[in-house]
Structure 1
Amino acid sequence: MIRTSAAALAFLVAALPATAGERMNLGIGTIFDNDAMGDGDDRWRSGSFAISHFRGPEWRGKLPEAPGSFIEWRFRSEIITPENVSGTAITSDRRYVGVLSAGLHTHFQRNGAEVSLGADIVAIGPQTGLDDFQDAVHDLIGTSEPRSAVNQIGNDIVPTVTLEVGRELALAGNGHVRFRPFVEAQAGIETLVRIGGDFTFGGTGMGAFRMRDVVTGQRIDGVIGTADTGLSFLVGGDIAYVADSFYLPSRLGFDLTETRNRLRAGLQYDGEIASVFYGVTWLGEEFEAQPESQVVGTIAINLNF
């Protein structure tokens, strides 16, 4: 498994064009999700943090056509918990999972479509140390320790490949109303296919490169655009069919829902060298025994070089 993961990343590195020396630092983006900023409960998709470093040729408002010219180094952590993280575990509820991942993604355009292709090495289980980290955080803020971490998904390392293809369409107002439909396929930590779309209202963000948050699907600036500074409003949603999930393994008796749905909205401020985003996302049930949906909040900050 580790060899397969390394091979997937090695393939992407080998595919980088010979002009790699022309790449420059374009920006750093951070994304923080937590249900405390949504419905206020500490459960299920409890919290995640991601940081991405973007490198490529001088940014001129659109992706290059060559795969490997514009790259993203992505690092993520996530904590997934049962509904009652500090109480007695319910056998039908999902298990605790700590997640750490590192990966390389390339973004390019082809025939007017934006393409994202990448590979990640995803580690799960007690080996991540995230159960101890959450325990320390709970001690710091004076809340109960996460007892559910005792009964968590075991250690594993899973190679994951993700492909997304989308195209942004200007609907009105010289691009001040835009719609971006997309399709996504992933194989690995969760094997799924997804289709959805995102609307943007406001002139800011035009000419920007936006990355997609793994948990919520929110579209957030990775590289700030060439348009004026100001505010834009984003709203979107998607539906996925999930064939398999290491987070909800069938061998432990979990039945995945037929579809997995997300609805999201957010407000983005673009400045000259930084952008800030806040949004909320409704996440539908992920397994049949999950009693209800949840709402998580997202904060993101991007810095351009």
Structure 2
Amino acid sequence: MHMLDRTIALCKAASKSLMVAISILSTSAFAEEHIAYRGEVGSFVNDFVGDGHDRWHTGSYQKSYYSQGYQLRWLQGLELRSRSQIVSPWVSSKQRGGDRPYSTAIGVGGFAHGRISGFETRLGGEILLLGDGTGLEALQRSIHDGLGMEDSFDPSRDDIDRVETTVTSRFDLEIARSLRTNEFALVRPYAEITFGGDRYNTFGTDVILGPHASASIWTRDVVTGRLLTPQANDIRGLSIVAGIDVRSAISSIHLPDNGLVNIEPKQFRSRFGIQSSSPFANIFIGQARLSEGFVGQKESQRVGLLSVSFSF
């Protein structure tokens, strides 16, 4: 409980720091009457509703809140994000020759969304707590016990390596270009640099076919790269959302340098899903394919994607 209390205190401190930053940005340098809350969006990722196995990128959830109206090219909108992630090895009988360590993370961060010379930019970072202090291991174990998943990976039953409890940070710079043939078709190529605890160089393209192609605010799911928009609640209809990217991977917070396995230097991600928005609910259901994340990984992984919000 002591470590969990420290985790909560860390998140509260980081949240207060972000709110201070917002208050500074909302001073006389901006037209305060134009700054407004713009919406929120969440993303849930789980392997059990993907390929059915309990391994590697086993579960994550993130939630973002947006405000708009800041009068700078590099800062037209502000995103505050919290997220959690569980990364685990596979059972030893399935993955032989070494596996990744068990790792959990919770983080809070902020990102500035802007537009420069026709390009959309997203720049920001987050503070993350790794290890036992997150409390996610106990949560995973209780969920597995409650669902009767006796054959699933359980960190309490297996002698495994763990990522040590530590505090780290990561930062993202994304540059994208929205190309539209009409209001129902969007092609959005992008490049992203991630540095800090994680170091990646990512290049990819997303495609939206349907009414959601008209959205102008976009962010990404950290694990799968899936495009997310808080404007989905304001749009009505059905859309196809797809994307693919390739990344040069240098380091990961979930694969320490002194671990048993090394990071796979070239990684691929692809995703596909359906976004449905009505006056009552906004739902996204999809799948993503993640290539091998470490050298010696037996196979790629498929995970399920889900976002649900209701209008009351």
Which range, TM-score by smaller chain?
A: 0.7 to 0.9
Q: Are 2:25 and 1:16 equivalent residues in the alignment?
A: yes
Q: 1:20 to 1:45 in 2, by over 3 A?
A: farther
- Output the aligned Cα RMSD: 2.9
Q: TM-score, normalised by structure 1?
A: 0.86
Q: Which residue is equivalent to 1:210?
A: 218
Q: Are 2:171 and 1:161 equivalent residues in the alignment?
A: yes
What letter matches 2:303 in structure 1?
A: V
Q: Are 2:77 and 1:67 equivalent residues in the alignment?
A: no
Q: Relative CO higher for 1 or 2, CA cutoff 8 Å, sep ≥ 6?
A: 1
- Find the aligned partners of 2:71 and 2:280 in 1 and give their Cα distance: 22
SS in 1 for 2:270: strand
Q: Which residue is equivalent to 2:6?
A: none
- Find the aligned partners of 2:72 and 2:129 in 1 and give their Cα distance: 32
Q: 1:45 to 1:14 in 2, by over 3 A?
A: same
Distance apart, 1:244 and its partner CA: 1.3
2:110 to 104, 113, 136: 104
Cα offsets for 1:148-204 (capped at 9, x unmatched): 486311011111111111011013xx2322210000011123111100001111233
Number of residue pairs matched by the alignment: 292
Q: Which runs of 4+ in 1 moved over 4 A?
A: 8-15, 87-91, 302-305
Q: TM-score, normalised by structure 2?
A: 0.84
- Find the aligned partners of 2:94 and 2:82 in 1 and give their Cα distance: 32
**Ranges in structure 2 where 5+ consecutive residues have no aligned partner:** 1-9
Q: 1:38 to 1:64 in 2, by over 3 A?
A: farther
Matches within 5 A, 1:116-131: 116-131=122-137
- Find the aligned partners of 2:44 and 2:31 in 1 and give their Cα distance: 30
Identity of aligned residues (%): 30
- Find the aligned partners of 2:211 and 2:237 in 1 and give their Cα distance: 8
**Ranges in structure 1 where 5+ consecutive residues have no aligned partner:** 58-62
Contact 2:48 2:54 in 1 (8 A): yes
Q: 1:142 to 1:24 in 2, by over 3 A?
A: same
Q: Are 2:203 and 1:195 equivalent residues in the alignment?
A: yes
Matches within 5 A, 1:262-301: 262-272=269-279, 275-301=282-308
- Find the aligned partners of 1:13 and 1:64 in 2 and give their Cα distance: 13
Contact 2:74 2:116 in 1 (8 A): no
Q: 1:32 to 1:66 in 2, by over 3 A?
A: same
Contact 1:71 1:107 in 2 (8 A): yes
Q: Which residue is equivalent to 1:33?
A: 45
Q: Are 2:114 and 1:114 equivalent residues in the alignment?
A: no
What letter matches 1:178 in structure 2?
A: L
- Find the aligned partners of 1:127 and 1:155 in 2 and give their Cα distance: 6
Q: 1:46 to 1:246 in 2, by over 3 A?
A: same
Q: Are 2:41 and 1:47 equivalent residues in the alignment?
A: no
